[in-house]
């Protein structure tokens, strides 16, 4: 059935390597679909999946298929006469998948929406306070960074900040270079 996709026109248009890759890909897809069909047959006959984990698609799906799982399978069909065998096989598979019947399980717990809303609002307020505190820390760090940048500029260009020609005593120049240190708490 996978071979029907490899029309003579397709075979002529691609290299032998691409054709081999497509055949391997089709084989992998067919193996996965076969495993899915086995899963559907097990669910249809027993109502549950056996404990055999297996490999491939079955191994991936096995932990998630239980009595609380909602499965959706989408089947696509081709109108082309070249794909009539594949379409017929897909329709048979769709019928098998449609025969799967499981008993729904009623949930036992109830949700108290008032308490849930109150809990979520408290969480949001806590997060907003944390954001405000972090924004304050960021602003304090930026102010410290600006003062440090200014101090470095004053130290490297004393004439620019001397207030007219670079005059003044050594004590005044030293005073201009000192930076007021601001403590930023990490809590």
State the 10-residue block means of pLDDT for the chain, 187 residues long.
68 89 84 83 81 82 75 81 81 83 70 91 96 96 94 86 55 49 54
Q: Given this model, what pLDDT does residue 1 score? A: 47
Contact (Cβ atoms closer than 8 angstroms) between residue 86 and residue 78 = yes
Q: Given this model, what pLDDT does residue 88 score? A: 86
Q: How many residues are listed for the chain in this entry? A: 187
- What separation, in Å, do the N-terminal and C-terminal C-alpha atoms of the chain show? 66
Instruction: Please report where in the chains the tokens 């490899």 appear, as a residue.
Output: 6
Q: Given this model, what pLDDT does residue 185 score? A: 57
Q: Given this model, what pLDDT does residue 39 score? A: 84
Concatenated DSSP letters of the chain: -GGGGS-HHHHHHS-HHHHHHHHHHHHHHHHHHHHHHHHHHHHHHHSS--S---SHHHHHHGGG-STT------------GGGHHHHHHHHHHHHHHHT-------------HHHHHHHHHHHHHHHHHHHHHHHHHHHHHHHHHHHHHHHHHHHH-TTTTSSSTT-S-HHHHHHHH----------
């Amino acid at each position: 059935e996978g071979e029907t996709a490899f029309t003579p026109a397709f075979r002529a248009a691609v290299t032998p390597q691409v054709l081999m890759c497509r055949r391997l890909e089709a084989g992998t897809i067919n193996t996965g679909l076969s495993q899915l069909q086995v899963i559907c047959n097990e669910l249809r006959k027993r109502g549950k999946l056996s404990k055999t984990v297996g490999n491939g698609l079955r191994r991936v799906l096995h932990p998630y298929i239980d009595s609380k799982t909602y499965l959706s399978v989408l089947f696509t069909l081709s109108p082309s006469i070249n794909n009539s065998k594949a379409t017929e096989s897909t329709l048979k598979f769709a019928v098998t998948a449609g025969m799967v019947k499981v008993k729904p399980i009623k949930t036992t717990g109830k949700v108290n929406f008032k308490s849930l809303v109150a809990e979520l609002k408290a969480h949001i307020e806590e997060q907003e306070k944390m954001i405000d505190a972090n924004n304050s820390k960021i602003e304090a760090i930026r102010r410290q960074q600006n003062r440090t940048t200014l101090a470095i500029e004053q130290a490297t260009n004393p004439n620019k900040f001397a207030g007219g020609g670079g005059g003044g005593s050594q004590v005044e120049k030293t005073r201009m270079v000192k930076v007021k240190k601001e403590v930023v708490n990490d809590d």
